[in-house]
Structure 1
Amino acid sequence: MAFQQGLSGLNSSSKALDVISNNVANASTVGFKASNTIFADMYASAMTGGTSSLQVGIGSKVAAVTQSFTQGNLTATNNPLDMAINGNGFFRLSRSDGSIAYSRNGQFDVDRNGNIVNATGEKLTGFQALDTSGTQTVFSGEPSVIYIDTTNIAPRETGTASVGVNLDSSEKNPLNKNPVGSDINNFLNYTAIPVESYNYTTSMTVYDSLGNASLMNLYFVRDPDVAGVSPNTWTVYGRLSNDVVPDPADPALSTGAPLENLGTITFTNLGVPDSTIAGNGVFNVTRTGAQLGTGADDLNFTLDLSRSTQWNTDSGVTTSPRQDGYTTGRLTGLSVSNTGVVQGTFSNGQVRDIARLALANFSSPQGLTSLGDNLWAESFESGQPTVGAPGTGVLGSVTAGQIEESNVDLTQELVSMIVQQRNYQANAQSIRTQDQILQTLVNLR
């Protein structure tokens, strides 16, 4: 008489219930992967040589507990540093002891040292940005702990500037108008330029080497009539706002650096800049440090007005002013692109690449060792990790502002729980029956 089968069945069902209970307990754990119990039967190989049809099994056992690495549902959050992986891969984390762990839990924040960390302090790793000056950021070739530098970025002096304007083709030189206007050349050294001395004015902001902003005022004057006909040539004058210095002798005049004649822009009879004239509508603007008076270096930039037109409509800006300079800026926010690039937004409007996430994938994720806290560790069975940026190779993409929920199916788990409960009861009944049979034998006289 043997109780082995029933006892093994109780033990197997009990372990299966443990696995189910663990799944149910972690149904709301971000990045959790449900486990499954795999059973195997047991036979005594010594019985009749292990080949006879008379073999009787001696019960069951739990052969393995595997995890299902299927994709969990994604949920939006209010944290821009929360991330979810779409597809294969794990976040690569550096632990306090220097070891590397892996996780699907993308709940991250920045600690006081500027590291992106999870709730238990593990640090997210990636490829740090080395050079952001070109059209494409150069990232380091080795993954390391991502560091968010909160130092203000240096200002950048304006090197190129552009604006497109339409100059009303019906306009005439101020001296050819009725009533007659003023000659702008008589007011080059004055702060206030009479409105009757020019046809149109606009302005744009430029920056010196220290990040000081200056307003570049532009004045457009159509050239005087020739034989009663207005030429399609306009003279452009410019002055920076901080060029103007009050005249100590007569503050009312506010004389200072002159309004500079930058050059001319000539249009064809179709109202577009004449391309046969070299450099038409492109001007070089130069201001010395002394003229700027800010302690900055000399300012030199190219002003491009070649997208301007001369059509019969009101004068105005048609292409928004653009220039490549900016003042110093402090870090105001962080974001993550779908390619895993961590970007910083600065108070001066600049966006800089800081780092790119490192994801890792394994030949056999089932072989990973569970560490708790939503972490796994590499093992011999898992194989070595394949590390790369999101969206490369077999690695999935990253979605910012979202998290991956547990892939536990509560309905399935509750059904499985009922099944294992019945299995446990049936195995208990098997032991009770064996006990009754044994009792009958003991009671024989």
Structure 2
Amino acid sequence: MSFNTGLSGIRAAASELNVTGNNIANAGTVGFKGSRAEFADVYAASVLGTGSNAMGSGVITGDVAQLFNQGGINYTENSLDLAINGNGFFVTSNNGALSYTRAGYFGTDNQGNIVNNFGERLQGYGVNEASGEIQGGVPKDLKINTRAAEPNATTVVNSTLNLNSKDLPPAGNPEFLPSDSSTYNSSTSVNVFDSLGNPHVLTKYFVKTGGAEWDMHLQIDGEMIGTEKLEFSDTGKLTSGTKTEITLEGLATGAKDLKFDLNLENSTQYAASFAVTAVAQDGYTTGDLAGLEINDEGLMVARYTNGQTKVQGQLALATFANQQGLTPVGKTGWAQSSESGEPVIGKAGSGTLGRVQSGALEQSNVDLSEQLINLIVAQRNYQANSKTIQTEDAVTQTIINLR
């Protein structure tokens, strides 16, 4: 009996050494979750059960439990390095076979798919191209669209400015000439864009004609296109000419006719220097992909060289009723099992799911100092159980040697 008891102890100690050694080997593995060996004692039992004074028959390894506590976060320079703060797993697909991981090493393949360093594709939700909204439903392969952003023609220009009430009409009311600054009081310019993304310079020249009256001469790309009368109240508020419809036909670029509204609402005539306090227009040229950012909800936002941004998708996270029931499949991944239950897949930050940290990686949760102590304990347990077998052998030899 003592041989079997000692042998079971050696096996248990060897199991603990294996588990501890694996933890130590993966102390630097991103997304790795340490394990621990859990043991249970053994008692021989008859059909009628175990007696109250039964002697133990050794030990068995009850389970090798996975420890899913949070690992430390290490920040990197790569926006596609991802870490999860809180509960959940990244979902990856290998030709349709799903696995779950905390290792956030991601990049792109030659087709633009977001993949880990084993070529497994990250799963998430796509975008409705028409509305720009995230599409729910079944997650699919996330892909970065590297196509240039389409241009957008200007439809409105909002400009807020102040014309100096102390200004006088140009001397002798000379004929307005854009090339002669003595024929106007002030000017300002802004770029507008046609349907092909070509920029055109809109210039506004202001000529005072009376105490509260001004002429605004409009020029696009050096061509005069019209004049608008501006009138201000005795409190300096713009009362006439707040909105002007501008049309430029027959563009040499081959684009559609340029049509937009010039809005001067909230402009003033105060006793202060000419100043443009705000200007904005809704057009932009084409733009190349300049970078990709992923926020804490997993939204993938593309940045373009024209200053625009566009949501390209949202990654999915998964959680399980029993995480310890997941089956390790290597490559720092796990697979669903009957013990883990079905995955609950959703968007980061929803329900019990954690949030995503871009430009960071979750380190192994292994505590090396604790593992080294476990090594010492396992080694002593191994030696002690070997002593049990050695002592039993000595006793047996004594009996055999009896004459």
TM-score, structure 2 as length reference: 0.96
> Among 286, 306, 311, which residue is 2:270 paired with?
311
Q: Is the 8 A contact 1:131 1:139 kept in 2?
A: no
User: 2:104 aligns to what?
Assistant: 106
Residue in 2 that maps onto 1:165 = 161
Question: What is the distance in 2 between the residues matched to 1:69 and 1:444?
Answer: 57
Query: Which amino acid is the alignment partner of residue 186 of structure 2?
Result: Y
Partner residue of 2:73? 74
Q: Once the 2 structures are TM-superposed, how far is the Cα of residue 132 of structure 1 from its aligned partner?
A: 6.2
Match of 1:240 among 209, 220, 228: 220
Aligned counterpart, 2:53: 54
Local SS of the residue matching 2:224: coil
Aligned-partner SS, 2:203: strand
Secondary structure of 2:2's aligned partner: coil
Instruction: Check if 1:88 corresponds to 2:87.
Output: yes
Letter matched to residue 52 of structure 2? S
Residue aligned with 1:13, SS: helix
Q: Where do 5+ consecutive residues of structure 2 fail to align?
A: none
1 or 2, which has the higher strand percentage?
2
Secondary structure at 1:431's aligned position in 2? Answer: helix
User: Deviation at 1:272?
Assistant: 3.1
* Corresponding letter in the other structure for 2:242: G
Q: Is the 8 A contact 2:134 2:314 kept in 1?
A: no
Counterparts of 1:214 and 1:119, CA distance in 2: 46
* Equivalent AA in structure 1 for residue 209 of structure 2: D
Once the two structures are TM-superposed, the CA of residue 141 in structure 1 deviates from its matched residue by 2.9
Distance 1:119 1:413, change over 3 A: same
**What is aligned with 2:232?**
267
Quote the offset at 1:140 in angstroms.
4.3
CA distance in 2, matches of 1:207, 1:52: 92
Deviations 1:364-392 (A, max 9, x none): 11111111001111111111111111111
Q: Is the 8 A contact 1:132 1:138 kept in 2?
A: no
Contact residue 266 and residue 281 of structure 1 kept, 8 A: no
Mapped partners of 2:111, 2:54: distance in 1? 66
Q: Output the aligned Cα RMSD.
A: 1.6
Task: State the TM-score, normalizing by the size of structure 1.
Answer: 0.87
Using the TM superposition, give the Cα deviation of residue 51 of structure 1 relative to its aligned residue in structure 2, in angstroms: 3.3
| Secondary structure at the counterpart of residue 258 of structure 1 | strand
The one-letter amino acid paired with 1:172 is: L
Out of 342, 351, 357, which is 1:393 matched to? 351
Instruction: Give me the whole-angstrom Cα distance separating, in 2, the residues matched to 1:264 and 1:62.
Output: 91
Q: Aligned residue for 2:256?
A: 297
Residue 181 of structure 1 deviates from its aligned partner by: 4.9
Does residue 326 of structure 2 align to residue 361 of structure 1?
Answer: no
SS for the counterpart of 1:100 is: strand
- 5+ long unaligned stretches in structure 1: 225-229, 245-256
Distance in 2, Cα, partners of 1:76 & 1:260: 57
* Residue 3 (1) aligns with residue 26 (2): no
Identity, in percent, stands at: 41
Distance 1:387 1:267 in 2: 60
* 1:182 aligned to which of 171, 174, 199: 174
1:37-68 C-alpha deviation (Å, 9 max, x unpaired): 11011111128x33312211110011110111
- 1:413 pairs with 2:374: no
> What's 1:117 paired with?
115
Q: Which amino acid aligns with 1:40?
A: A
Q: How far off its partner does 1:259 sit?
A: 3.8
2:203 is the counterpart of 1:217: yes
| C-alpha contact (below 8 Å) 1:132/1:352 kept by paired residues | no
Change (3 A) 1:56 1:120: same
Residue matched to 1:130: 128
C-alpha contact 1:89 1:396 (8 A) present in aligned 2:
yes
Q: Specify the alignment match of 1:25 in structure 2.
A: 25
Contact 1:166 1:309 in 2 (8 A): yes
Output the CA distance in 1 between the equivalents of 2:55 and 2:252: 100
Q: Residues 17 and 99 (structure 1 numbering): CA distance in 2 closer, same or farther, change over 3 Å? A: same
SS at match of 2:41: strand
Shift of 1:193: 3.2
CA distance in 1, matches of 2:184, 2:357: 54
User: Hey, what's the Cα distance between the residues in 2 that align with 1:12 and 1:300?
Assistant: 81
